[in-house]
Amino acid sequence: MEKPREWLREKSIAKKILSEANVIFEVVDARIPLETRNKVVEQLSKERNKEIFIILNKTDLVPESFAQKAKSIIEKEYPVVLFSARKNTGKKELENIIKNLSKKKKIIKIGVLGYPNVGKSSLINTLKRKKVATTSPKPGMTRGEKLIKLDKNVYLIDTPGIITLEFQDELAVKGSWIPDKLEDPVDASVKLLEKIIKNRPEAVEETYGVKPESDPYKTLEKIGEKLNYRMSGGSVDIKRTAKKVLWDWIKGNIKAYWL
């Protein structure tokens, strides 16, 4: 049976924001900066001649050298800002960009777009210096769009995350799907572990205190054993373990990253 695909959850919103905004901040997760680039956002922005900036948020979760490498790749297409809403890094640079934009245009409306959970609302709160947008580790927090006044001629638009045509487990690997709402959390978790083992296997040991196996499913079982997640018969509760790993990834508890 083919697994369900999720289609452009908020395509109409993307189009609406693009008609209202004159600048786009595309927020991506610095741990998986290429995977969280949203082709739909970029394509629609390009077609409408909107100026795009790519903001690599959550840079506090990756080494500086990795962030710089990602920046140099993406910069071939769009200007990039390394940012962390948690640590307040990159704020000055972003404020300068906004200042320069407001010299060029009478009114600046910045549409903040990207996948669910990349930190769009957190970025807005950082720029505003107070909590005006609701944030949560749960993907899909922001529902409607919200206009936030930053300065007398500068507005930010907070938006719900935008997803493209993808399978649920691909979205889960991006931290953009609630693990408890997955048809098959084990499959998603195995896919995620496969990437972690390939790119930064030591993260498994750092987080769970077990050595990763080359087989991601076996690794998941070992993690479940270590956590002592058991079914009533005593065997490992693999589903519960899978959800735990996915939540740890979403919450930034697993220090892995890749291009």
Q: What is the contact surface with Mg ion in residues (CB under 5 A)?
A: 120-121, 141-142
For residue 250, the minimal CB distance to ligand GTP (Å) is: 7
Choose which of 135, 168, 189, 241 interacts with ligand GTP (CB under 6 A).
135
| Least distance to ligand GTP, CB of residue 245, Å | 17
Binding characters for ligand GTP, 45-64, by CB under 6 A (x = yes): ------------xx-xx---
> Token match 């040991």: residue?
205
Residue 101 in contact with ligand GTP, rule: CB under 6 A: no
Among 33, 90, 111, 161, binds ligand GTP (CB under 6 A): 161
Q: What are the phi and psi torsion angles at 188 (to 5°)?
A: -65, -45
Query: Considering only residues 141, 187, 191, 227, which one is a binding residue for ligand GTP as defined by CB under 6 A?
Result: 141
* Residues in a beta bridge with 161: none
Note the Cα 86 to chain centre separation in Å.
14
Of 119 and 216, which has the nearer Cβ to Mg ion?
119
CB nearer to ligand GTP: give 137 or 231.
137
Nearer to ligand GTP, 163 or 186 (CB): 163
**201 vs 204: CA distance, rounded Å:** 6
Of 117 and 219, nearer to ligand GTP (C-beta) is 117
Tell me the one-letter amino acid at 164: T
Crossing angle, helix 185-199 and helix 238-250, to 10 degrees?
60
Structure tokens at 247: 């939540």
d(CA 195, CA 251): 17
Name which of 121 and 168 has its Cβ closer to Mg ion: 121
87 in Cβ contact with 60 (< 8 Å): yes
CB distance 67 to 82 below 8 Å:
yes
Pick from ligand GTP, Mg ion, none: which does 201 bind, CB < 5 to 8 A by kind? none
Using CB under 6 A as the binding rule, the residues of this chain from 236 to 255 that contact ligand GTP are: 252
How far is C-alpha 15 from the chain's CA centre? 20
CB of 136 to ligand GTP, least distance (A): 5
Binding residue (CB under 6 A) for ligand GTP from 22, 38, 45, 142: 142
Q: In this structure, how many other beta carbons lie within 10 angstroms of the beta carbon of residue 46?
A: 13
List, in sequence order, the alpha helices (H) in 29-108. 39-47, 64-74, 91-104
Residues that bind ligand GTP (CB under 6 A): 57-58, 60-61, 84-86, 116-122, 135-137, 139-142, 160-161, 252
